[in-house]
Chains A and B, each alone.
Chain A
Amino acid sequence: MENLIAFFSDPIVTTVLLALIPLVFILVYALVTLYGEMKIAAHIQNRLAYMETGWHGVLQPIADMLKLLQKEDIIPESANKFLFILAPYLVFMGTYASFAVIPFSSGFIGSNIDLGIFYLIAASSLVVVGLLMSGWASNNKWSLFGALRSAAQIVSYEIPGVLAILGVVMVLGTMNMQTMSQLQDGGIQNWLIFGGNFPLAQKLALLPFMVILFVIYLLSSMAEVNRTPFDLPEAESELVQGYNTEYSGMKFAIFYLAEYANLFLVSAVVVVMFFGGWSSPFGSFMSGTVWSAFWFIAKGMFFVFLNIWLRWTLPRLRVDQLMYVSWKVLTPFALACIIAVGFIMVM
């Protein structure tokens, strides 16, 4: 018994255990979202989706996962084996590393660092390297197309996204994601989308800019996770399957997992920045460590749902139109918002 206590109080073990919490969350969340996406898509499209495996097919994601595990893992003969194997893990690593600074609840954050959101931007940029690597290593023209498209897209959309984050950082005066949530605590009126926890005049002045920054970040986050209407890197009608055309089995599953994890990641950033993070919408009612985890995940899942909803409704943009939206619409608007927010905060 004493050995056990000594084992668990070892700082290395506790760090590893804490690091595993987001991983467990990602795995469970991915299964739920996989099922949810299929069911939502089906009901949007007048279908039923899975009905055979378990009650309303709830076991289907597990069956899918088992199938992917059993599949033969094919590496094309002319592929660059090292990069080909490394790429999916690098993509997942970038996303997983970003989860370190996500404040899941008022009592839990992987790493409470002051550069939180800055670290998140940096770590999630690793994804681009992985995608480019997978496209290059596959030695397939369609994969290369997909990889180049995704590199161009993610890099372009990081700019308006980061500018939107900058606006929020200017308002809240911190990059620490836990502090960001704390500053918006105390009820729905304190959330940044409604002007934040400021005197009324400042609040009203901030409100329109916060809404614009929110829309800008939402759009650029959709582009960063390659979801419709910005799913060009894996546009199946043009590029077969994009950068993961040649992948199969578990490597493909890792790509899939990374995509879903990334989806929650950007939703979490939206929630932390504009929707009060883990704070309860009713002030001190239903708040606390466990309730705040509930609110955080519920808010995050709402934005995941929004992404799924849009995906099954909208057509896809073209490459040049995508770049147009990023450079000529979102970036100037984000810059204008930052200037306005700066003036408001100084006054």
Chain B
Amino acid sequence: MIETIATPKTSTGKSLRTEEMIVNMGPQHPSTHGVLRLEVVLDGEIVVDVIPHLGYLHRCFEKHCEHMTSYQQVIPYVDRMDYVAAMTNEFAFVVAAEKMLKIEVPERVHYIRIIMAELQRIASHLIAIGTFGIDMGAFTPFLYYFRDREKILELFEMTCGARLLYNYMWIGGLSHDIPPQFVEKTKEFCTDFKKTLKEVNDLLNYNEIFIKRTANVGILPKDLAVNYACSGPMLRGSGVNFDLRRDDPYTLYNKFEWDVIVGKGEMGTVGDVWDRNIVRQREMWESLRIIEQAIAGIPEGDVQKAIPKRIRPVPGDAYGRIEGPRGELGFYIVAEDNVTPYRIKARAPAFVNLSVINEISKGAMLADLVAIIGSIDIVLGEVDR
């Protein structure tokens, strides 16, 4: 990221001297979703320039991965990257590793992984929309969503014992098979959750004040989104019909019936904050569709059959990518003749999406800047790694 220090402009009119003001938004600001620091140049309430400063949560994830005793040990580290969607990170890593090691996993593992990934996508979107609501001043939808996120966490806890950082997907399989009551509980969740989705649509997404605050704000045009390599709801909100689950299918996603949600600019312009938010909201419906199909057709099998006893790959490299809740999450693994990877590079969607903030928030108001940060849905664990 560009490390420039902004210089405020001073303008002397005929009688009144005005000055641009530099404000540090973060790292302790309540709406920067963690420890992001934005250096904001303000002309009154109007944002003139935004310079993000990163690295407050840098934990040398990529370097750590080179010093393990096994490839499997990388997975707990991957969990801690995007801590609100840990399951997705594991998924991306095992997809990349299995591609490199050419492991074929049983069909049951594929199904469970898809169910877990979609549940995690819902859980992550719940936080995204909930905190976005808080940014807009609406506190209540956040807690409505947290109630349902709790049910998802209970499903995860039931399966692998952990609620936040799971270490559940292993290279070649899973740490545990799903417990017998899991199928029933998931079905129950799917029916219950639809009610909440409708409720929050009424309370937040179609609320007149909310629409006033978000429509025509922070417009990200199609070409700009593509040029900045945005992905996920950010890209689809701008009207680009692209989803890795459909366009570069990994595991068994091409088996299921579902639609790619694209922002249409119903309330304002295509690519505004409202579009990005509603894409997340509607994606949860699609995730529910996938979960319902997957849970109905889950085959029998041993989930740990294909786990290699010892991983020592032939030197080479592989890039595996999946559609995470925030966008394209990819891992590039370079292997040498050793038990640990030579180099791991993560393509973090939140980091890439954040890079566009300077372009889309110039000329917006300070309150809009908060809306824009919220709509990008950053997780600083992933941005800083």
Contacts and interface: CB of A to CB of B under 8 A. Distances in A.
Nearest to A311: B139
Contacts of B138: 313-316
A324 to B, nearest CB: 10
A315 B137 contact: yes
B129 to A, nearest CB: 12
Tell me the dominant secondary structure on chain A's binding face.
loop
Contact of B140 (A232, A237, A313, A316): A313
- Range of interface residues on B (Cβ < 8 Å): 20 to 34
B194 interface: no
B367 A319 contact: yes
A229 B139 contact: no
Given A315-B207, A320-B365, A229 B29 contact: no
A14 interface: no
Interface residues of A, number: 27
A45 B207 contact: no
B31 interface: yes
B296 interface: no
Contacts of A67: none
Contact of A316 (B23, B30, B137, B144): B137
Interface stretch (B4-12, B55-63, B209-217, B282-290): B209-217
B207 A318 contact: no
Nearest to B139: A312
Contacts of A141: 21, 23
Contacts of B370: 237-238
Given A237-B134, A240-B29, A319-B367, A314 B139 contact: no
A312 B136 CA distance: 12
B366 to A, nearest CB: 6
B133 A315 contact: yes
Interface string A305-347: 0000000111111111100000000000000000000000000
A56 interface: no
B365 A318 contact: yes
A141 B41 CA distance: 12
Nearest to B133: A315
B367 A238 contact: yes
A231 B367 CA distance: 12
Contacts of B207: 314-315
A107 to B, nearest CB: 41
Given A229-B209, A315-B204, A235 B137 contact: yes
B45 interface: yes
- Of A228, A312, A318, most B-chain CB atoms within 10 Å: A318
A45 B136 CA distance: 17
Nearest to A313: B140
A317 B135 CA distance: 11
Contacts of B135: 237
A236 B30 contact: yes
Contacts of A237: 30-31, 134-137, 370
A70 interface: no
Interface string B226-248: 00000000000000000000000
B147 interface: yes
Contacts of A75: none
A330 B47 CA distance: 28
Interface string A28-53: 00000000000001001111000000
B260 interface: no
- Of B21, B29, B203, most A-chain CB atoms within 10 Å: B29
Interface string B344-377: 0000000000000000000001111010000000
A229 B23 contact: no
B314 interface: no
A310 B139 CA distance: 11
B162 interface: no
A318 B213 contact: yes
Interface in A219-275: 228-229, 231-232, 235-238, 240
A314 B212 CA distance: 12
Interface string A131-150: 00000000001100100000
Given A240-B29, A315-B137, A45 B212 contact: no
Interface in B143-163: 143-144, 147
B366 A316 contact: no
Interface string B119-144: 00000000000000111111110011
A284 B366 CA distance: 55
Interface of B: 21, 23, 29-31, 45, 133-140, 143-144, 147, 203-204, 207, 209-210, 212-213, 365-368, 370
Given A315-B204, A315-B210, A316-B138, 6 more contacts: A45-B144, A46-B144, A238-B367, A317-B212, A319-B45, A320-B365
Q: List the 10 closest A-B pairs by CB distance, nearest first.
A: A316-B137, A237-B31, A315-B138, A45-B143, A315-B136, A237-B135, A315-B137, A318-B367, A315-B210, A315-B209
9 contacts: A41-B139, A45-B140, A46-B144, A315-B133, A315-B136, A315-B138, A315-B207, A317-B212, A321-B212
